[in-house]
Structure 1
């Protein structure tokens, strides 16, 4: 491979990253903004945007992947293997919600896109795997119920976290929502009485 080909690839990677960075900012501020506005904010031409993302929908799915990467990094930084499993699960769920809160308008926009169930599962699999790992740890330590599969309990925890986010968006205080989420999770995951 020649140096000029390496340079072109590096330029393409930089352009793609700039487009995604700009799309996060622009579309979060104005979900109806066009690709021309994204291109201008990225410092590239509209044609460059189309070279990387043939449609607005493809750009939005790439943005969704970027938000998922942020979510995974935040979950890992929340120390899922530290302390009691119940505390870790709350920390990890809260960390997972932070990028969606930060990109609220974009998250709504992406959530309205048509998606195949398999593609949606694939996109969320790394998130579910991290949560299931915390649940499995809690099951091994006796903190959590072992009668249900960890992936089922993790999926239920995600649904409760989504409900908590919706409740907070509807006007509940963050402290009240956090307390309700914690109590609900502890009841859901509690081991069976002897």
Structure 2
């Protein structure tokens, strides 16, 4: 095998994998029962190719959930969480998270539950963005919760998941859950209310 063909094969494999995930994200909102064959066809790859990347539908579901989390983390990168006050930046994070939730709900609803053991790892890119912001808020004294940034990041992710679950269950409307999330996170951080 030549030195040129191996990088080309890797690049082709990455393109195929990305096309499969793109196809799954496009199909799942309207076709919850879309099987591996339908997703492969939409991606323009063979059944053999889709199974080479994702041996089971569960593997594909985990990869889709990971892609959605990575997209949210990328949006956080673009938000410049070093600008403005820590409280304003924290509210931007919540807005980004909520917009991602709203955009991803049709896919996640039809994706079904993803293995819980993967849940913590899936949030690492998000907490990696939160931690410097939380440290900044704690170091400046703007956040007065008196706990570690690591605990605070975990608590914020957990409260965010609870707010989203309330919407999914129908116990709260989206605006109610979003408002409750903002208030709860500001209280957790010991941050001043906006406008104070």
Taking structure 2 as the reference length, the TM-score comes to 0.82
Q: Deviations over 1:81-127 (max 9, x none)?
A: 111111111111221233332121432455613332xx432222221
Alignment of 1:28-107 (within 5 A): 28-107=29-108
Q: CA deviation at 1:49?
A: 0.7
User: Matched residue pairs, number?
Assistant: 188
Q: CA deviation at 1:184?
A: 2.4
1:112 aligns with 2:113: yes
Q: CA deviation at 1:139?
A: 0.7
1:125 aligns with 2:132: no
Q: Is the 8 A contact 2:20 2:39 kept in 1?
A: yes
Query: Tell me, which stretches of 5 or more residues in structure 1 are unaligned?
Result: none
Cα distance in structure 2, aligned partners of 1:59 and 1:135: 33
Cα distance in structure 2, aligned partners of 1:109 and 1:67: 14
Cα distance in structure 2, aligned partners of 1:90 and 1:103: 20
Taking structure 1 as the reference length, the TM-score comes to 0.83
Q: Is the 8 A contact 1:168 1:177 kept in 2?
A: yes
1:181 aligns with 2:181: yes
RMSD: 2.3
The structure, 1 or 2, with the larger RCO (C-alpha pairs under 8 Å, 6+ apart) is 2
Moved more, 96-105 or 29-38: 96-105
Query: Tell me, which stretches of 5 or more residues in structure 2 are unaligned?
Result: 192-196
Cα distance in structure 2, aligned partners of 1:25 and 1:13: 18
Number of the residue aligned with 1:152: 151
Moved more, 105-114 or 29-38: 105-114
The structure-2 alpha-carbon separation of the partners of 1:110 and 1:130, relative to structure 1 and needing over 3 Å to count, comes to farther
SS in 1 for 2:115: coil
Alignment of 1:134-153 (within 5 A): 134-153=133-152
Cα distance in structure 2, aligned partners of 1:38 and 1:27: 9
The structure-2 alpha-carbon separation of the partners of 1:162 and 1:40, relative to structure 1 and needing over 3 Å to count, comes to same
